[in-house]
Structure 1
Amino acid sequence: MHRRLAFIDTLRGIAVLAVLLQHALEQIVLNGSAGDYYRILHNAVGEYFNFGRFGVALFFFVSGFVIPNSFPDSSAPIRDFAISRVFRLYPAYWVSIVVVLLIAPGFEAKTFPLSQILANITMLQMFMNVPNLNIGYWTLAVELIFYVACIALFAIGFLRTRWTAICIVVAASLTAIVAAPFVKAHLFWGLLELMLDLTAMFLGKVVRDAVIGERLQWRHVAICTLLYVLYAAVCAYRRYGVDYQDNFFCAYGMGAAYIAAAIVFVAFAGLGERGAVGVLSFVGRISYSVYLMGPYALVVVVHFFGTGQSPLQWSVFVIGVACVSILVSWLNYLTVEKPMIAFGLRFRSQALRAVTLQPSLRGQGAE
């Protein structure tokens, strides 16, 4: 089982389409066009399941599957890893910032202070307590934390030790499970929600070590996944509660999203290439651009065409948003993302060991 790129990209495709679906359905509800279906739609994408968080969690699992094994066998692996990540993330991200600065004033009547723009350019705005220009940027902060964690573990020689990821998943999960009956502080559970996202990434590595190289066994995956599911359930309960406030966040919906993402990821890992779907793999290859550009495509479509007034029109609206997002993102991928990835690779050391799997995955982090 060496060729995993189609499997990885299929999962990315599912993830980013789930995020688009959440945002599109939220617009139907928020624009007041749901009519008699208002409560049904609101419950479907808020109280009982959050497709957006499902997609984001799936991205985190994929990132954990890929990133820890993206350090090249070169004379300076940490430097080369960092260079690859910078050119993978920042150019397309900067383009998305330009787009929001062009679109927001005319389509959403929004303007941003220069200090907020400059902070967002660094991608470190959340660490500066500065609002995101696009709410979806929060996931990039989690990715950066994971990269730093991987660099630290790699530097001390623990990243590729087979028990490291297991220990992290078990320790984090047990902390939440044990604390659930006793600790109710919102800040505490906010931190544990962040740790839940990071734990998803390390669980992704556990799965990778089981399906590639057989460094771990499926019983390890089963134990870690069960603990993660319990972690997600208690964290969602303490973080969001079961009293739905019509804000698209509820213990049921958020917990179900995290748990479903874990199940889907593990199931596809078991299927391997048999679970790959060509169309989804294509969307997965450009998923970072779709994630960045999708919200702006949604704004433009809503501005010019609205969301519709009936289930049929809503279906056309959702499909239209997906198509426009994919088209714009494909162009961004071809003109910015892909060339910048190649440009970044030229800065890396050339003494790379020939590895069957890694060239397919190198530089393909889940954003």
Structure 2
Amino acid sequence: MIFIDGIDFGRFGVVLFFLLSGFVIPYSLKPGTTIKQFAIRRFFRLYPIFWIAVASASTANVVFLGKKYEASQLIANLTMAPQLLGQNPISNVYWTLLIELAFYVACAILFAWGTLGKTRVLITASAITAGLTFFPILINELTGSKVPVQFNSHHLSFLFAGAAIRTEYESKSWRLSIPYLLILTMTVPTVAGLLPAAKTPFSTFGTWGLFVAYAAAAFVFLLALRHQFGSNRFFEVLGNSSYSLYLLHWPVFIVVFSFFENSASTIPFEVGACLAAAFFVSWLAYKYIELPSIELGKKFSRSTQRDRQSLQNPVRP
């Protein structure tokens, strides 16, 4: 990840991505949508470009970094959840995808229960998942215990927070969700390592630098909502290609960096070239891979809807 003056800009991007995903994803489950349709559309939205990203990242790592992989690791990575199969992600930036999948499952469950659009339910879910990280840290610090700490659940809490904000977005009330997001952000220093018991890989480069990254992500997210940046053409393109940018920036960076000598004098040019190439490649990927995949997912989901309607209303002779 990239760090400037101790701020984890990589984590800034991750948290902003979580908040945006939490804000957008639940509204794929509109009234009349089935869980099967949701699953089909999510599959075609996520996996085709992800498989290409895995192939790109593994190839770049082998060719330019000299890494080697077992077939079992490559196959496990195609599931988007290699951790569940005892394997490491091909790229260190892909660790968040398992958390995204967990959020999709949670959204499907809440939708089935009829509670996905309720602000208090989503805030409660966020508080519970954050508490699974926060309270074990406090207990371990105060009592010297060794209660297991699940840090991924704290990341999951920001997805639920984004979803809660969306429920109040239309009415512009935000009486509960935004104050809650601010409170949630204030728990980061404790989780990140303010207490000795919390010192884990969650925060490798400093407690307060990580806190600034989380706070900045929350600020940018709320600022974007306030000024409706999504209606701006530039931000619309950036938002559309954000998933491809997230998946493909690592292999693109590896390839671009290989053309430079990595001297101090060329760093600004290297960074600029990496960013320009990553944005261009992600735009191409969205246009020629993601969009066709999304349309294919819609086509399959519509066919399942027609099949269901034909079963409910069979043609009588």
TM-score normalised by L of structure 1: 0.74
Instruction: Tell me, in whole angstroms, the C-alpha distance in 1 between the residues paired with 2:146 and 2:285.
Output: 39
Task: Note if 1:188 corresponds to 2:148.
Answer: yes
Task: Note if 1:51 corresponds to 2:47.
Answer: no
Q: CA deviation at 1:194?
A: 1.3
**3-state DSSP of counterpart to 1:305:** coil
Note the alpha carbon deviations across 1:273-317, whole angstroms, 9 max, x for none.
4x755434322211111111111111111111233423xx32221
Task: Note if 1:63 corresponds to 2:21.
Answer: yes
Instruction: Tell me, in whole angstroms, the C-alpha distance in 2 between the residues paired with 1:104 and 1:229.
Output: 35
Q: What does 1:1-367 correspond to in 2, within 5 Å?
A: 22-23=1-2, 41=4, 44=5, 48-74=6-32, 77-173=34-130, 179-184=136-141, 188-189=148-149, 191=150, 193-214=151-172, 217-237=173-193, 249-273=205-229, 277-310=232-265, 313-349=266-302
Q: CA deviation at 1:174?
A: 5.6
5+ residue gaps in structure 2? 307-317
The percent of aligned pairs where both chains have the same amino acid is 31
Q: CA deviation at 1:244?
A: 11
Paired residues of 1:87 and 1:341 also in contact (CA < 8 A): yes
Note the alpha carbon deviations across 1:182-213, whole angstroms, 9 max, x for none.
32478733x1x312211111111221122214
**3-state DSSP of counterpart to 1:73:** coil
Q: CA deviation at 1:181?
A: 3.6
Note the alpha carbon deviations across 1:223-270, whole angstroms, 9 max, x for none.
30232022222111258889999x953212222212221222123222
Instruction: Tell me, in whole angstroms, the C-alpha distance in 1 between the residues paired with 2:131 and 2:72.
Output: 40
Instruction: Tell me, in whole angstroms, the C-alpha distance in 2 between the residues paired with 1:244 and 1:66.
Output: 31
Structure 1 counterpart of 2:315: none
Q: CA deviation at 1:105?
A: 2.2
The alpha-carbon distance between structure 1 residues 266 and 187, as it changes in their structure 2 partners (threshold 3 A), is farther
TM-score normalised by L of structure 2: 0.85
The alpha-carbon distance between structure 1 residues 112 and 167, as it changes in their structure 2 partners (threshold 3 A), is same
Paired residues of 1:210 and 1:218 also in contact (CA < 8 A): yes
5+ residue gaps in structure 1? 1-21, 26-40, 353-367
Query: Relative CO higher for 1 or 2, CA cutoff 8 Å, sep ≥ 6?
Result: 1
Q: CA deviation at 1:322?
A: 0.7
Paired residues of 1:119 and 1:130 also in contact (CA < 8 A): yes
Paired residues of 1:170 and 1:227 also in contact (CA < 8 A): no
The alpha-carbon distance between structure 1 residues 225 and 244, as it changes in their structure 2 partners (threshold 3 A), is closer
* Cα-Cα RMSD: 2.8
Paired residues of 1:242 and 1:250 also in contact (CA < 8 A): no
